[in-house]
Amino acid sequence: MLLVTLLCYVGFAALSLSMPRHYADLAGGTLSTARGRSLKVLGGCALLVSLIVALGLQSTGFALVHWFAALMGSAVSLVFLMSYWPRQALWLAGIVAFVSPIVAFIQLLA
């Protein structure tokens, strides 16, 4: 569940960065078309992987409920952070992107 939520957060953060306005607010500078596209693909992939992880952990019904919960929870937290602490929102996304492979590794071992 933790991994699913982390992946959702990374996914939404990448998707928001793929929009020029949010990119300027969060990262500063202008967004090149190529980078925008790759961020969009990255975000979409993270969300897709989170769904696959959720489905792998539980029965389909609970997996879908938990995935939607993670989706909504992470999107709301991201938008809240972006509005009041944009820098920290980006930092958090970076940390989460770094941490989630470790969490995935631990979950595989457990």
Binding residues (CB under 8 A) for other proteins: these are 12, 15-16, 19, 21-22, 24-25, 61-62, 65-66, 68-69, 71-73, 75-76, 78-80, 82-84
- Three-state SS letters, 58-89: CCHHHHHHHHHHHHHHHHHHHHHHHHHCHHHH
Q: How far is the CB of 108 from other proteins (least distance, A)?
A: 23
Closer to other proteins by CB, 16 or 100: give it. Answer: 16
Closer to other proteins by CB, 35 or 40: give it. Answer: 40
3 neighbors 53 (Cβ within 8 angstroms) = yes
User: CA 62, CA 95: separation in Å to the nearest integer?
Assistant: 28
Name the token pair of 50. 């989170």
Q: How far is the CB of 34 from other proteins (least distance, A)?
A: 20
Closer to other proteins by CB, 94 or 101: give it. Answer: 94
